[in-house]
Each structure stands twice: as structure tokens, then as C-alpha cells.
Structure 1
Amino acid sequence: MTTTELFHISDMEQQQQPPPYPPKPRRSCALRWILIFLPIFILLLLIILILSFTVFKAKDPTTQVVSVTVDGVSPEVILPQFKVELNITLNLQILVHNPNHASFKHGPGTTVVYYNGTQVAVGDISPGTVPATGSETFANKLNLQADRFVSEISELISDLMAGEFEVETKSTVPGRVKFLGIFHKHVVSLSDCRIVIGISNLKVRSQECNNKIKF
């Protein structure tokens, strides 16, 4: 076999060799990182969900009237004009309790006093923040003036002659509980009380309260 034939055979063999494999695409590396971090992300998500339904589950803050005192001058009826002199102040101590493991931020609240269904006084509750699993007490003063009882004057005179009268207070505290900077819950905490006040000594004779939550 001549030298020319050998070179010809060598060229044919080189032409028949398969081309080299192309380099692997970079997406295989990205897929590897996704497979690593995806289980970690799912695990963290499960932990957050478990905490949100256990330790960090939103509980309802409560508002409660814990103390009521009365200041002022004992009301009296002036005859024969049937005029009532009334100038007393209800001093309410309102407790807001937050059972959550996150702070409860509440806006301005109000306490409204009713006599026989007629509004006779309004007091403000300052905004603030109740710490996690903590409580805060607010002082609320409400002045009852005779001119606000005009529409119920006959009922008031009857109660004064009987030696006691009853008022109803409605306290409202709106706010929000926020967990982990992600989850939040809006609530309105309410406390309704019926208070019976003695005329002769301006003492609270009985107090009955009902606390509830509105969403």
C-alpha cells in the first residue's frame, strides 16, 4: 500500500469520527440550586404556618370596666318647679388585656353613657399599644349634666325620689394585632355595663358588665 493510499484512509477515518459532545447547558447548575433550596423554603413555610396556628394564633383582646366611682354633688329635685340639679362625674377604670404573643395597637376609643336609652355623656379613650400578653388601664371621666336629661326628666325625677338611678356605659376600643410583620387581625373590643348609683351618698350600688368582640 502506497503512502498516498495511507493518507487517504487516515482522512476518511477522521471524517467518520463523531463530533465532540457539546458542553452541558448552565441550566443544570440552576436546577441543582433549585433542588437544594426548594425543600428549605417549603420547610420554613410549614414552620410559619404551624406557628401561626399555635403559638402565634390570634386571640381576642378584651376590654373590661374594672372600677367605677362617683364624684360630685348629690342630685336633688326642686319643687314646685320640678327642676333637677345634677352635676356628677363617673370615674371609670377600663382595663384592656392582650392575650397574644404580639402587641395590640389600638386607635382612639370611646365610652358613651346612656340613661333610659338617651345619650347623656361621652368620654374618649386615648390610643396606644398594649404589649404582648400584657394589660393597660385607662382612666375615663364622664360628666353627667342635668340639661342632657331633659327628654327623660320625668323618669329621672321618679328615680331620684326612689333613691337611686341606673345608667348604661358602652366602651369601644378598635385595634389590630400583627404577627411576624405578615399576619394581622382587626378587632373591636366592647364592654357594656349597667351601673346603679345611690342618690344619698353617690356610691355605686351594683355593677353588671358584659364583654364581647366585634370583627
Structure 2
Amino acid sequence: MAAKEQGKPLAPANSYHPRSDEEEVIVSSHIKLYQRKYVMCCGCVSALFLIIAVTAIVLGFTVFHVQGPRMKMNDVTIQRLEITNGTLRSDTNVTLLADVSIKNPNVASFKYGNTTTRVYYNGKEVGQGRAPAGVAKARRTMRMNVTVDIVPGEILVVPGFKMEVLSLKLTVSTYTRIQGKVKILMVNKNVVVELNCTMTYNFASKGIEREDCKQRVSL
């Protein structure tokens, strides 16, 4: 009787129940959906980084690319030039006024130090002048006057000066140098602009008759 009353043995707790085909399909679809979302997320992130990189490169070569300011000699006026019998008075300094413009094509201001202008006659330096430091605003053109004192004692000893003065014309060369910085975002770029001009001044018209300028920019 005892043997008959004994119950059936219980199934082990960790017994394996095989999944049905329906359960396998559901799990497989969840895995594929997760993989699809993961791939889409990675693709979106990669595309975003690519767009940022391309935009940065384009801006670096266009808007944020530092360009050299353009300098131009607009006009030159010679004052206090007194000639008697074809001779320049040696007791009075001659003043040369140079009208110079600086065009800044950058999206940031161009801050520059003192501007130096030297005047040469037949290769000999006969005068030098300076203009104070300043700022050329972004994409603007700024004009300034540079005053150069020419010492008669220096120019009188240069061969050919008297003959040229008698013709009421004077050919001189000028060298102007500007050094400054352009700051775009967190980058400071040193800029040096040099302008060499050769011009013929007409005493009768009191203006430049012929001019040839060449600019050099160092970044």
C-alpha cells in the first residue's frame, strides 16, 4: 500500500523547455530591430561628424581663411619745396605726404603697429616717416596719412637731382611696411605687408604723373 500511495517524482527545476517556433520568430525580430536601430544610429552619428568636418574645412578655406590686407598708395604731395635758380634750399626740410589705404578682406579686424615709410632717390634713402598704430576693421578700407621729412642735405648730393628739378619733375621710390595680427576664433595670424612704389612727381600739376607699385604679403 505504501508503494501505491507514493507520489510521482517531481520534474527537475532546471528542466529545459524548448521554445516554440513562434517564440523564436519574436526573439529574432527583436534582435534584427535592435541591430537596425544600432546601424541607423551609427550612420546618423557618422553623417553628422562628416557634415561638421566638411563644413569646418570649407569655412577654413573660405570665410575663416586669413588673407593678406591690400595696401595702396593713393596720392603723394610734396610740401615746403623751395627752388631758387634751379637749386633747392638746404636750410628747409621738404615734407612728403603719402596718402595710404589699407583694405582688410578678412572677417576679423587687422590690428597693426607703427607704419614706417622710407623715401629713396636714385637708390639713396633721403627721408623716413612714421604713422601711428591702428585697426583696420573687418572687410573695410582704412586710409591714413604718412608724413616723411626729406632732408635737403641728403638729396642734394645725389647725382642728377639738379637736372631733374629743372625739368619740374622728380622720380622717387617709397617703401612702406606694416606689421600686425588678424585674430579669427582662437587663432592669431601674424601679417606683414610691404609696398614698394616708384613714382614721378610733377611740380607743375602738384601730383603724381606716373606710378608703379608692387605689394608683398607675408603670413
TM-score by length of 1: 0.70
Question: In 2, Cα distance between the equivalents of 1:122 and 1:75?
Answer: 21
2:164 pairs with 1:156: no
2:201 to 190, 197, 200: 197
1:186 to 169, 190, 206: 190
Point out the more displaced range, 35-44 or 105-114.
35-44
SS of equivalent residue, structure 1 residue 157? helix
Structure 1 counterpart of 2:72: 64
Shift in Å, 1:39: 6.8
2:136 pairs with 1:133: no
Structure 2 counterpart of 1:104: 110
Question: What does the per-residue CA deviation read over 1:15-65, in whole Å, with 9 as the maximum and x for residues that have no partner?
Answer: xxxxxxxxxxxxxxxxxxxx7988756654442222111222222211111
Question: In 1, Cα distance between the equivalents of 2:135 and 2:89?
Answer: 45
Structure 2 counterpart of 1:214: 217
**1:107 partner letter:** G
2:91 pairs with 1:88: no
Gaps of 5+ in 1: 7-12, 15-34
Compared with structure 1, are the counterparts of its residues 51 and 97 closer, same or farther at alpha carbon in structure 2 (3 Å cutoff)? same
**2:61 partner letter:** F
Question: In 1, Cα distance between the equivalents of 2:167 and 2:49?
Answer: 71
Question: In 2, Cα distance between the equivalents of 1:138 and 1:106?
Answer: 13
Question: In 2, Cα distance between the equivalents of 1:192 and 1:92?
Answer: 13
Largest Rg, 1 or 2: 2
1:48 to 56, 72, 78: 56
Contact 1:190–1:214 under 8 Å retained in 2: yes
Question: What does the per-residue CA deviation read over 1:58-104, in whole Å, with 9 as the maximum and x for residues that have no partner?
Answer: 2221111112122113323588xx98566421111110000112211
Q: Percent identity?
A: 23
TM-score by length of 2: 0.69
Contact 2:127–2:149 under 8 Å retained in 1: yes
Question: In 2, Cα distance between the equivalents of 1:69 and 1:51?
Answer: 43
1:143 to 145, 149, 154: 149
Question: In 2, Cα distance between the equivalents of 1:74 and 1:83?
Answer: 6
Question: In 1, Cα distance between the equivalents of 2:169 and 2:118?
Answer: 20
1:7-22 equivalences under 5 Å are none
Structure 1 counterpart of 2:28: none
Contact 2:79–2:96 under 8 Å retained in 1: yes
SS of equivalent residue, structure 2 residue 80? strand
2:126 pairs with 1:117: no
Compared with structure 1, are the counterparts of its residues 78 and 66 closer, same or farther at alpha carbon in structure 2 (3 Å cutoff)? closer
Question: In 1, Cα distance between the equivalents of 2:196 and 2:48?
Answer: 49
**1:148 partner letter:** E
Contact 1:106–1:128 under 8 Å retained in 2: yes
Contact 2:131–2:147 under 8 Å retained in 1: no
**1:159 partner letter:** E
